[in-house]
Structures are given as structure tokens and as C-alpha cells.
Structure 1
Amino acid sequence: MSPGLVFVHGGAGTIAADLREAAVAGARAAATRGLARLVELGEREDACVDAAITAVRVLEDDPTFNAGRGACMNASGEFEADAGIMRSRDRASGAVAAVREIADASELARAVMERSEHGLLVGDGARGFAESVGVGRFGRERVWTAKAQARYASARAGELVADNRADTVGAIVMDRRGHLCALGSTGGVLLKLPGRVGDTPLIGCGFYADATLGAALGTGVGEAIMSRVGCHELLRRAADHQTGLQVAAQQLCDEIHGESEAAVGFIAIGPGGALAIAHRSEHMSWALAAEGSPLRGGLSAPADPNDATSPVL
């Protein structure tokens, strides 16, 4: 049995100055809650899934982040959320996309994985499934925030550049059995066209988990990550080229950013517990909580995420 760990991120991009402290605090709170749930479950099967949900639900309920309560608005002033989840032990996955006014898209993605025969449900179909299985907290009052309204108005007026704003939240969890779960959730891109779907709910692009390869999550401008099938590419590159996971993550970020100038970031855990975090963006909030180690977190990637003695940034 291996020590459990919970690795979370709050999005790669540009975080407004008034939200930076809260972004780090929120990531640390999510990792802490996720680890507490992991410890509570012990060696139970799929403890990693429960702990990932616990961590991401903290982020979805925190208005600091672009997911759940705090999600950004699309071009019509509406809220459409995406989420995707995958576990390593059998590569089961579930995802939802373009779901209107949902505060807990992560829970609905899990329901698709565990309670349907499908891998991805979208729009009204996803909403209907949620109602049929009794999952999901819906309503504009559950997702609207003054932050989202102000940024929508500023972007529509041309006062705020919508590109490369921090987006997506997520968690990768390794439980005591060594099983992995990757889970991402997002409100998407500010002023996106209604119906736009990014990388977050697309398997291999925004999330991936496999017993042999490990698990990864992407964040940033989805279109740039999708074109590289980012998460699968990262894990496959590390496995095929015998390149360290951290090196592979940074190289891929550099390549994607070099091609597109888009904000991009990844977190990953290898099958043996090696960690990677890399980004090409102004900020990327993150936190790591592991059994027997001090809580760490920051607003940019540490020099070596595998060094438990490295300073908190």
C-alpha cells in the first residue's frame, strides 16, 4: 500500500490581482478536504474517486474559480459547464458538456461514468439524465456571482481581454491501493459561443487515467490542448521516450504555447507516484496534500514537485 495524495489545480491563465490570494487558499482547502476524505475511506475500492469529487466540489463551490459557483458567462450571458472524470483501474470514464446552470458538474460526470452506458452526455440530454438519477444542483442563483457579471460586462465593453483568463479546476488522486482518478470541471471560456466545448470533458485531451501510464489533467485554452490530445500525449511521451514526467509536461506546455501563444498547464501523477506540474501562463494555482508530508501550494509551479521540502510558493 502506498500513501494517498491529492493534487489539485485552480486553472492556468491570468488570475486577477484581487483573486490571487484566494486562489491559493482555495486550492489548499480543496487538497486538504480531499485528503481527509481519502484517509477516512482507507483502502476502500475507488477511494480515489470519492476523494477527487470531494476536492473538486470545494473548488466548484468557491466563487474564486471558473467552475460551478463562479463560472464565467458565455456570449449570451448564460452559464454552461463541462466536466470529465476517469479512473485508472479499468479506464472507466464519464463526462458532460454544455450543461446549463449546474453548480456541481463533477457529480454529474461521475454519474455518467457509474450509472449510464455512455461516456459523454451534452446539453439538454445531460440535464435530463441528471433529473432521472437525482444528481445535480441546478439554477442560475446557484452559479451566478458578482465577479462573473462584472467580468462579462467588462469583456463585452472591450475593457477586459477575455483570452487566457484562468479556467478549469481539477484534482488527481492516488489512493492507498495505488489507483488513480483524474477529474476536471470548468465554466469554459468567457464570452464563448453557446454550445462551445473545450478540452475539459474530452477524454485524452483534458483528462486521462490509466494504470500503466498514470493520470493527467489539462488546463488553459481548450482548443490548443485539444489539437494535441494533451493529457494522453503527455503520459504517452513520458512512457515511450523514457522522459521524466516533469520534463515531458514542461516540454509539452512549451510546444503548445509556442504554437498558439495560448495559456496552458498540466498536472500529472505517474503510476509510481511521480508528480508533474507545468504551465505556460502568468499563473496556475495548485496544492498538494499527501499522507505524511506537509501541505504545499502556490500560484506558480515549483521547481521540483517531487521534493517535499521545496518551499511553498
Structure 2
Amino acid sequence: MNKRITEILGKDSEALLSHTCKTISKDQIHCPGPDFIDRVVSVSDRGPRVLRNMQSVFDHGRLGGTGYLSILPVDQGIEHSGGASFAPNPIYFDPENIVKLAIEAGCNAVASTLGVLGAVSRKYAHKIPFIVKINHNELLSYPNSYDQRLFASVEQAFELGAAAVGATIYFGSLESRRQIEEISQAFETAHSLGMFTVLWCYLRNSEFKTGGTDYHASADLTGQANHLGVTIEADMIKQKQPVNNGGYNAVKFGKTHKDVYDKLTTDNPIDLTRYQVANCYMGRSGLINSGGASGKNDMHQAVLSAVINKRAGGMGLISGRKTFQKPMKEGVEIFNAIQDVFLDDDITIA
């Protein structure tokens, strides 16, 4: 095993790398691998152009040919404001540097806004796969309603040469049903044009914070968000890794089952993330986790998240602020450390 990975993990190394999942067996998971398109996606209703675009992403970058993904997402200029996102490193106000970071880091793809990718598409669309994020929650309207609204069309993404479209749905919010309808229609159009689809399955509801605990990243609630996402044919699900469980029971709303907590999950983060994978049709739609917000221990948190995702049966990591809010060299180092986890054959599915 890569010695640097164990050094970065430190005290978390043994517990994570030696864990055996006794909840949902790895034999039930459609695990990522070099043959994932042939083995899993080709039996679906996705057309040949969708398969080709997905394969182009799987074949790109340092993880090319492994079935795992490392993606740079940058839509925070809208979601968090340009100042909050890029003041720590102003070079990323320029869209070209966003794409350059993804290329330098050996990412499979870069995911960003229509404006960012459209600004440099003729120079870079043939050099790294593009994922165009078509909806956003802008934070300038006051008071903010936390509502994802369409900023771009699927056709615009197609015209600039994108391999895929991405979107966010705030599951649990008052506007979620409209968002589901909008993005379902958008994904249908994307598939008809040969692009695959990536869905950010986020939760947004003040009632998910109760008793002093925030359940927006609980395994049971995020798992259900994933299950709704694959229902509208998201080919890949982007989800925060779970930090707790029992959201249904705490909020006292909706339906769940005691076996979710007694048999299908434990407190181990790998088992909690395995439950997220299970809700992605047992991995037929790949689970891509985020590495969390930027902070003081970004390298450790990024590698930790990568190990949890891989051992749970996930498909990779999507890493934004941890990488672009630093000098480009440091951002590349974090991406490469993440990728080393997925390249290491000794780190297996639990």
C-alpha cells in the first residue's frame, strides 16, 4: 500500500483500511471497474452516444481506465458568491485557470457553469471532458429562498461540446417537486442528445435540524435523496458523505424501517456510505462524494473521504474549494493524493 496514504490518514488508517462491511455485502454492489460501461451501463436504455461520452470521461486523466473518477467542480461563484469563493486565490476569477487546474491535476472532467466553460470551450473542450451545470441557487436575491433555478439549457451545453450536464435538486425543500420535474425533463433531453447526467442530490429543509443536531447529511435521508435522483435517470449521483444517521426518526416525518439502522448500517462511515451506494440502485449509478468544505486539514480530509468512498463501493470524489482556494500546485497535490487512493489496488471494497 502507498505509504503516504497511511501517513496522511494517521490514526484513522487502521480502522478504515481494515474494516469489513457486514451490513450490505460487497457482492450485491455493482462495483466500479474498467468494464463498468460494458457490464452495467450498456444493459440500460442509454444510447450509444451516451455510452461513448461516459467512456471518454472514464478514460481521461490519471484515473483513466480504472472505472473511478476525480472531478473538479466550480460553481461556487454563484452558489457562494465570487468573492467568497475566489478571494483566497483570485486567479480563478478567470475561467481558463479553472480548466487548467483540472488538466494539471489529471482530473477525469471539469464541472462548471455555462459561462465558465463557454468562455474557453473552443480551446479546451477537446482536451478535457466538460460537465455543464445547468441550474444554480444564487445568493444575491434577498431574502434568499434556497431554490435551484435554471441558468442554462441542455442545448447550450451540447453546442459547447459538453460530455454531460449536471444539476442540483434540493430534496425536501418546498420547491423540490418543481425542480424534480424540470431536471427530469432536462435529463431526458440530455440523453437524447448523447450526454450523460450528474445530479447533486442535496437536502434543504430547516426541519432537518432538530434537537441540536443537523441531519442534512444523515445516511438515511441522503440515501433517499439518492434514490429519488436515480429515479429520474441520473447516471452519477453527487452526495455529501454521511456524518450521522437516524434523520427520519429525529424529524419524525416520512417512512423508514428499523432494519435500516439495525442491519443495513452501523456507525462506521464506510457502512453509512455503503447505504448511500445501495440507494443508487446498488451502484448502477455511480456515487461520487464531496470532500467537504475547505479548512485546515484539507489533505487529510480529502484522502479520508476518498478511502471511505472507495471502500464503500463509490465511484470517486468531486473536490472543489479544497483545491481551487489554494495555489495551483497545492491544489494539484490534493487531487493527486485523492487519485492515489483509487489507483492503489491494496485499498479494496470493504
**Would you call these one fold, judging by a TM-score over 0.5?**
no
TM-score (norm 2): 0.31
TM-score (norm 1): 0.33
* Between structures 1 and 2, the one with greater strand share: 1
- Highest Rg: 1 or 2? 2
Higher relative contact order (CA 8 A, sep 6+): 1
